[in-house]
Amino acid sequence: MGENKKSVTITVNGDVYQLGVGNAVGEIAPADTLAETLRERLLLTGTKISCDDGACGCCTVIMNGKAIPSCTVLTIECDGADIRTIEGLQDPNTGELDKVQQAFVDHSAFQCGYCTPGIIMTTEALLAENPHPDEEEIKEALAGNYCRCISHYQVLEAVKQAAKEGSE
Ligand code: FES
Ligand code: FES
């Protein structure tokens, strides 16, 4: 029930948030997942919730350098964590998309777009760890991200473009 935690501090896209834990207005409930906190409390709705069970990857964010499904962790377990969401990719000053986002645009690597933020965040984590993934490594990294619109072919091409740009 997390009764020992009176507040949780998380850093999201470089901004530090101290969140009170409890059931009062403005507090996060002990049972709130990170996905819920991001969307409902911090209004970072780029992170999507679909299965809410760790199976589809729509809610993927980067926490402490690793891509994780944010519906599977409680916010009270994230004290001290450094989190990056899709909102943190674009250059805040120029509005310029980062290279992965731009590659997805260039290849129209989405249809409804619901899965796209999760796929992009998984790709970001992959390229941070392995800037030159081959096709098999890309497929393996994205195996947990489902797309019901079958955008996979274009996604693969987009990730290959982003990986290529990373090598220049
Ligand atoms: S919504 Fe989190 S994995 Fe599906
Ligand atoms: S683009 Fe619609 S779920 Fe992937």
- The CATH number covering residue 130 comes to 1.10.150.120
Give the mean model confidence (pLDDT) for residues 151-165.
Answer: 95
If residue 68 lies in a helix (H) or strand (E), which one and from where to where?
Answer: strand 66-69
Domain co-membership, 20 together with 42: yes
Select from 50, 121, 51 the least CA-distant residue to 84. 121
Distance from the alpha carbon of residue 168 to the mean position of ligand 1, in angstroms: 34
Q: Are residues 83 and 126 in the same domain?
A: no
Residue 1: its pLDDT value, please? 46
- Whether the pLDDT of residue 166 is over 90: the answer is no
pLDDT score for 2 = 44
What percent of the chain is predicted at pLDDT more than 90? 92
| Six token digits for residue 87 | 């909102």
Is the confidence at residue 146, as pLDDT, over 80? yes
Question: Who lines ligand 1 at CB under 6 A?
Answer: 49-52, 54-59, 69, 71
Answer yes or no: is the C-beta of 148 below 6 A from any ligand 2 atom. Answer: yes
Query: Within this chain, do residues 17 and 68 fall inside the same structural domain, yes or no?
Result: yes
Query: Which ligand ends up closest to the CA of 114?
Result: 2
Q: Which domain holds residue 138?
A: 99-166
Domain closes at, from 46, 64, 88: 88
Taking residue 7's Cβ as centre, other Cβ atoms within 10 Å add up to: 14
> From ligand 2's centre to the CA of 146, what distance in Å?
8
The whole-number pLDDT of residue 26 equals 87
User: How are the residues of the chain apportioned to helix, strand and coil, as percentages rounded to the nearest 5?
Assistant: 35, 15, 50
Residue 167 confidence (pLDDT)? 55
Q: 110 and 83, same structural domain?
A: no
Looking at the DSSP bridge assignments, the partners of residue 74 are 33
Q: What is the dihedral of CA 55, 138, 155, 126, to 10 degrees?
A: 80
Report, as an integer, the average pLDDT of 68-85. 98
